[in-house]
Amino acid sequence: MNELIEKNKELVRVLNHHRNAYYNLNAPSISDREYDCLFDQLKRLEEQSGMILSDSPTQTVGYIPISELKKVELATPLLSLDKTKQAQELFSFIGSRDVLLMLKLDGLTVELDYEGGKLIRACTRGDGVIGEEITHNIPAFTNVPLTIPYQKRLRISGEALICKDDFERLKLSLVDSNG
């Protein structure tokens, strides 16, 4: 059993190292495929041993917000789906709920809250439970409406993306605060 515990601890350490490089440093250190293989190995080990560490990547999502933005508790946790390659698992997860499925995009997960037809809050996913408020940034998003015709309360979550060409132009226009 000690061997399983040590292997569990090591996989959590390695995965958290790679997760930090990906989410916080924007410098992925292994491919998504390699990460997924390690993640699946950890998940099997946790099921086999019955031991799940509190900082296990199977229990947390994304990054821990570290900026100076206001932290907000998400009304509905924005968690990740387990990776699945089986249609039946997906159908079981959906159940009788209405859902919209899209191809996976790798961007910034954002939650938008509208009330009375007006955007009242936008925040990031953060760790899935606590995000960062970014309402003040939304006017810079070219395709997020500040007002909508729907007058009841509405919560939407999705991925905010920036095209590579736009990102390159943005990098060139930013002034280095160190110089």
- 160 and 84 share one domain: yes
Answer yes or no: is 123 within a domain.
yes
- Report whether pLDDT(179) > 60: no
- Report whether pLDDT(178) > 70: no
Q: Residue 151's domain spans which residues? A: 71-167
Answer yes or no: is 65 within a domain.
no
Give the pLDDT confidence score for residue 134 in this predicted structure.
92
Answer yes or no: is 33 within a domain.
yes
The percentage of residues in the chain with a pLDDT greater than 90, rounded to a whole number, is: 23
- 157 and 100 share one domain: yes
CATH number at residue 36: 1.10.287.610
**Active-site residue among 71, 83, 104, 118?**
104
Answer yes or no: is 35 within a domain.
yes
Answer yes or no: is 55 within a domain.
no
Q: Is the pTM of this model over 0.85?
A: no
**pLDDT digit string, tens, across residues 32-61:** 889 999 999 999 988 888 777 767 888 776
CA gap 21, 15 in Å, rounded: 10
Answer yes or no: is 28 within a domain.
yes
- 90 and 159 share one domain: yes
- 38 and 78 share one domain: no
| Distances 43 to 2, 6, 12, 15, 34 between C-alpha atoms, Å | 17, 14, 10, 12, 14
- 145 and 82 share one domain: yes
Question: Could you give the number of structural domains in the chain?
Answer: 2
CATH number at residue 100: 3.30.470.30
Say which residue the tokens 């990547």 belong to. Answer: 57
- 38 and 122 share one domain: no
What residues contact residue 81 under an 8 Å CB cut-off, 6+ apart? 93
- 45 and 75 share one domain: no
- 89 and 33 share one domain: no
- 28 and 79 share one domain: no
**pLDDT digit string, tens, across residues 152-176:** 999 998 888 888 887 787 777 776 5
User: Is 83 one of the catalytic residues?
Assistant: no
- 133 and 84 share one domain: yes
